[in-house]
């Protein structure tokens, strides 16, 4: 072998040339095999990542809480808005402030406990997921803040139902990496707070628009939860 | 000179089934033996052997519980397992990016 000499890339190019030793020929063969192995691994990597995406998508679908969270938020919002409208007096229909919003201080912790129990049952039945643990801790903290420290009536009565409800939806989106929940929580929460502050300040005289907005957010949240649930079931 | 991404692949993780197990666990948080077996279409013995390898490497934790009289095996991913999976997938992506377009 000649040190520093450049060897051909393929064994065929070595031919029967007597300048190349057996060692040279083995080296060329090994280099080619190594290149082939790398190419094979590159191709495998491509298909492997596709398979992994499918597996992750299936696990995400089996553990998704999007529908559950949106339906719960939608039911609570519809209830609060309906009760607010039914109990409003003085000719000023207020969809965002009243007994309905106030009762959320108790209903939100209860809803979180219901979601926690539902998730525990689902995880046990399907054999996958650990989301109930996070929801359980959230239920505990919200119960302490709302019921023991009395923060719930202040937040839900003063600001209306949406900052708290949609804030929790956005937190769920962050915690469970769901863009849908995060986006929904932020947009619906911002709109609801905007409408709530108009009405609470009583400065702008837009009760019809505020009421329409409050009802629309509640109904849209409920419908979105049902649609997501049906789509997941059919997927 | 930077090394080829192949050198960054973790042999324990690279095996197809083990990569699948870690992916499911990283996404779902935890899964039981039956779910993993059915999703990955494996036999009990095959899945058990792969779980042993991952457990020995410290990538998963295995908890055996009883529901009534029925035993149940839960598998969760460890911090080390999550790190190994993330590094491995990053290396795979690097390999794909390194392949020139035709």
Complex-level ipTM: 0.79
Q: How far is CA B66 from CA A111, A121, B45, B51, B63, in A?
A: 29, 16, 20, 19, 10
Whether A146 is in a domain gets the answer: yes
Which of A52, A124, A128 is facing B28, going by the closest CB pair? A128
Dist CA B24 CA B20 (whole Å) = 6
Q: Which residue in A has a C-alpha nearest to residue B91's C-alpha?
A: A45
Residue contact B28–A38, C-beta within 8 A: no
Whether A223 is in a domain gets the answer: yes
Within a 13 Å sphere around the CA of A71, how many CA atoms are in the beta-carbon half? 13
Asked if A196 and A159 count as a contact pair (C-beta separation under 8 A), the reply is yes
Predicted local confidence at residue A1, as pLDDT:
46
- A201 and A94, same domain (yes or no): yes
- A146 and A194, same domain (yes or no): yes
The dihedral region occupied by A102, where left means phi > 0, alpha psi between -120 and 50, and beta the remainder, is alpha
Whether B15 is in a domain gets the answer: yes
Whether B19 is in a domain gets the answer: yes
Domain that holds residue B34: 5-94
Whether A3 is in a domain gets the answer: no
A15 φ/ψ angles, rounded to the nearest 5 degrees: 55, -140
- A26 and A100, same domain (yes or no): no
β pairing state of B60-67 and B30-32: unpaired
Whether B101 is in a domain gets the answer: no
- A85 and A171, same domain (yes or no): yes
β pairing state of B70-77 and B60-67: antiparallel
Dist CA A83 CA A55 (whole Å) = 44
- A73 and A139, same domain (yes or no): yes
Domain that holds residue A119: 64-234
Two tokens, residue A230: 């049906």
Q: Using alpha carbons, select from B95, B99, B101, B97 the residue that is nearest to residue B14.
A: B95
Contacting residues for B19 by C-beta, under 8 A, at least 6 apart = A48, A52, B13, B85, B88
Domain count of the fold of chain B: 1
pTM of the full structure: 0.74
Predicted local confidence at residue A234, as pLDDT:
83
- A74 and A105, same domain (yes or no): yes
Predicted local confidence at residue A12, as pLDDT:
73
Dist CA A65 CA A176 (whole Å) = 8
Predicted local confidence at residue A212, as pLDDT:
87
Q: Using alpha carbons, select from A158, A11, A63 the residue that is nearest to residue B32.
A: A63
- A208 and A174, same domain (yes or no): yes
Whether A144 is in a domain gets the answer: yes
Higher pLDDT, A224 or B95: A224
- A51 and A107, same domain (yes or no): no
Write the CATH number for B15: 1.10.10.10
Asked if B59 and B86 count as a contact pair (C-beta separation under 8 A), the reply is no
Residue B50 confidence (pLDDT) above 80: yes
Q: At what angle do helices A99-126 and A162-175 cross, to 10 degrees?
A: 20
Asked if A219 and A104 count as a contact pair (C-beta separation under 8 A), the reply is no
Q: Does A60 touch chain B (CB under 8 A)?
A: yes
Domain count of the fold of chain A: 2
Whether B54 is in a domain gets the answer: yes
Predicted local confidence at residue A92, as pLDDT:
53
Q: Which residues of A touch B9 (CB under 8 A)?
A: 41
Q: Which residues of B touch A54 (CB under 8 A)?
A: none
Residue contact B99–A42, C-beta within 8 A: yes
Whether B76 is in a domain gets the answer: yes
Chain B positions touching chain A (beta carbons under 8 Å) = 4, 6, 9, 16, 19-20, 23-24, 26-35, 39-40, 67, 72, 76, 89, 92-93, 95-96, 98-99
Strand partners, B47: none
Positions of chain A with pLDDT lower than 50, given as ranges: 1-2
Whether B56 is in a domain gets the answer: yes
Per residue in A103-144, pLDDT (tens digit) is 888 999 999 999 999 999 999 999 998 888 989 999 999 999
- A42 and A82, same domain (yes or no): no
Whether B85 is in a domain gets the answer: yes
β pairing state of B70-77 and B30-32: antiparallel
Whether B74 is in a domain gets the answer: yes
Predicted local confidence at residue A222, as pLDDT:
96
- A71 and A111, same domain (yes or no): yes
Q: Which residue in B has a C-alpha nearest to residue A65's C-alpha?
A: B28
Q: Which residues of A touch B99 (CB under 8 A)?
A: 42, 46
- A101 and A32, same domain (yes or no): no
Dist CA A174 CA A60 (whole Å) = 15
- A72 and A50, same domain (yes or no): no
Q: Does A128 touch chain B (CB under 8 A)?
A: yes
Asked if B28 and A129 count as a contact pair (C-beta separation under 8 A), the reply is yes
């Amino acid at each position: 072998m000649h040190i520093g000499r450049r060897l051909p890339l393929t064994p065929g190019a070595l031919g029967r040339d007597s300048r190349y030793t057996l060692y040279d020929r083995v080296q060329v063969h090994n280099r080619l095999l190594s290149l082939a192995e790398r190419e094979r691994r590159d191709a495998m990597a491509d298909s492997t990542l596709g398979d992994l995406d499918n597996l992750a998508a299936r696990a995400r679908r089996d553990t998704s809480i999007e529908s559950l969270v949106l339906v719960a938020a939608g039911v609570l919002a519809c209830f609060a808005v309906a009760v607010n409208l039914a109990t409003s007096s003085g000719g000023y229909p207020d969809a965002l402030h009243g007994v309905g919003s106030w009762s959320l201080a108790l209903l939100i912790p209860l809803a979180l406990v219901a979601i926690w129990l539902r998730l525990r049952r689902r995880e046990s039945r399907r054999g996958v997921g650990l989301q109930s643990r996070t929801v359980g801790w959230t239920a505990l903290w919200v119960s302490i803040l709302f019921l023991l420290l009395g923060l719930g009536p202040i937040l839900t009565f003063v600001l209306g139902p949406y900052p708290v409800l949609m804030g929790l939806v956005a937190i769920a989106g962050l915690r469970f990496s769901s863009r849908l929940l995060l986006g929904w929580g932020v947009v619906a929460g911002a709109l609801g707070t905007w409408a709530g502050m108009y009405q609470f300040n009583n400065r702008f005289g837009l009760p019809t628009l505020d009421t329409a907005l409050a009802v629309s957010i509640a109904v849209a949240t409920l419908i979105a939860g049902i649609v997501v649930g049906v789509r997941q079931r059919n997927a | 000179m930077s090394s080829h991404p192949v050198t960054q692949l973790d042999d324990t993780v690279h095996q197809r089934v083990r990569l699948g197990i870690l992916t499911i666990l990283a996404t779902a948080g935890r899964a039981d033996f039956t779910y993993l077996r059915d999703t990955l279409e494996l036999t009990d013995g095959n899945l058990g052997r792969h779980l042993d390898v991952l457990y020995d490497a410290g990538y998963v934790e295995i908890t055996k519980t009883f529901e009534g009289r029925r035993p149940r095996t839960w598998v969760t991913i460890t911090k080390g397992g999550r790190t190994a999976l993330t590094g491995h997938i990053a290396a795979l992506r690097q390999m794909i990016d390194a392949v020139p377009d035709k």
